[in-house]
Amino acid sequence: METNKKSIIILGIETSCDDTSAAVIQDGILLSNITANQDVHRKYGGVVPELASRAHQANIVPVVDTALKEAGVSKSDVSAVAFTRGPGLLGSLLVGTQFAKGFALANDIPLLAENHLQGHISALFLREKGDTHALPQFPFLTLLVSGGHTQIIVVKNQFEQELIGETIDDAAGEAFDKCAKAMGLGYPGGPIIDRKAKLGNPKAFKFAKPRIEGLNFSFSGLKTSFLYTLRDAAAENSNFVAEHADDLCASLQHTIIEILIDKVKTALKQTGIKEFAIAGGVSANSGLRDATEALGKKLNIKVHIPAFKYTTDNAAMIAISGYHKYLTGQFDNQSVTADARYYI
């Protein structure tokens, strides 16, 4: 009988880079999502892999414990454990993978090995209690933009994606982070540039835009053009960056978004798909979120923007991805390994 049906409870684990995260999902509804950020990398201006895996080791048990407590769930209630298999930093992935395998073995439950990029897309399907926002309908087009990836993907169903464009050099998040570093703004640079861009003029500076055929991206030319602007101006005025930081951030962000949206327009036209979504850490960017809304209105298509808190790395996206696999019985066994280059 429907009312006696046992709940499906998924514990999700994400440790692919520098965030240790655990989440609990019950019958597709998110109950908890706990993330421990690693401040240790800030002073190095980027993630130090060895320090990341050590911090994951210290954080994983308390993070999982808190996620279960907040969800009001005990270990014995968990139906399966979903974890990020890759892509990511091997040392970081190993911590989550080993923990998930141990947890599954000790509690005699199945394992669900998830892809981190697919997880970012699955974040679009996250719902909390009482949340009724419209979910994307297949097939839809996704711009996946993070610190390591910039891809245009046709999402055919929960398990099948087609990559139709990607960066040939730097990722969009990397462009934000490297340019922020050059301005001495700290790490990660994306959120800092986003904040400052709100105060600046997006037309104050012009930077080189790539001329790449088809649906691929390139950001290394923009980065070089940005660095040359700083170098040339600093030769005349050593205070240039401090005096123009807001305008530099606004112009850089404007250029990155133009590059992204131009290719998305081409992809929508080529595929004829009428739904578009953004995903990944850079989808937290307020300018990109606004540009996505505007694109939806202009082209009269449905757009999907993940809730801000599920844009950057989190375990909720891994748990929902695992939940979809659980429903179709796609389990993994104890021989599964972490895979730094696990692409879909």
Residues at the site binding Zn ion, with contacts judged by CB under 5 A: 146, 313
Residue 20 C-beta: closest distance to ligand KG4, Å: 13
Q: What is the CB neighbour count within 10 angstroms for residue 39?
A: 9
Minimum CB distance to Zn ion smaller for 79 or for 311: 311
Which partner, ligand KG4, Zn ion, none, binds residue 285 by CB below 5 to 8 Å per kind? ligand KG4
Residue 244 C-beta: closest distance to Zn ion, Å: 31
Minimum CB distance to ligand KG4 smaller for 148 or for 200: 148
Structural tokens at position 131: 């949340």
- Asked whether the beta carbons of 320 and 125 are under 8 A apart, the reply is yes
Which partner, Zn ion, ligand KG4, none, binds residue 96 by CB below 5 to 8 Å per kind? none
Minimum CB distance to ligand KG4 smaller for 26 or for 92: 92
Residue 203 C-beta: closest distance to ligand KG4, Å: 19
Minimum CB distance to ligand KG4 smaller for 104 or for 281: 281
For 335, the 3-state DSSP assignment is coil
Residue 284 C-beta: closest distance to Zn ion, Å: 11
Which partner, ligand KG4, Zn ion, none, binds residue 282 by CB below 5 to 8 Å per kind? ligand KG4
Which partner, Zn ion, ligand KG4, none, binds residue 188 by CB below 5 to 8 Å per kind? ligand KG4
Residue 49 C-beta: closest distance to ligand KG4, Å: 14
Dist CA 328 CA 157 (whole Å): 13
Which partner, Zn ion, ligand KG4, none, binds residue 176 by CB below 5 to 8 Å per kind? ligand KG4
Give the binding site for ligand KG4 (CB under 6 A): 17, 146-148, 173, 176-177, 188-191, 194, 280-282, 284-285, 312-313
- Asked whether the beta carbons of 111 and 333 are under 8 A apart, the reply is yes
Minimum CB distance to ligand KG4 smaller for 77 or for 339: 339
Minimum CB distance to ligand KG4 smaller for 177 or for 247: 177
Which partner, Zn ion, ligand KG4, none, binds residue 194 by CB below 5 to 8 Å per kind? ligand KG4
The burial of 265, by beta-carbon neighbours within 10 Å (0-12 exposed, 13-18 middle, 19 or more buried), is given as middle
| Size of the chain in residues | 344
Residues 6+ apart with CB under 8 A from 236: none
Dist CA 319 CA 82 (whole Å): 6
Residues 6+ apart with CB under 8 A from 176: 188, 189, 190, 193, 252, 253, 256, 282, 285
Structural tokens at position 246: 């807001």
Which residue lies nearest ligand KG4, judged by its C-beta?
Answer: 281
Q: What does 36-76 look like in DSSP terms, one character per residue?
A: EE-GGGGGGTS--HHHHHHHHHHHHHHHHHHHHHHHT--GG
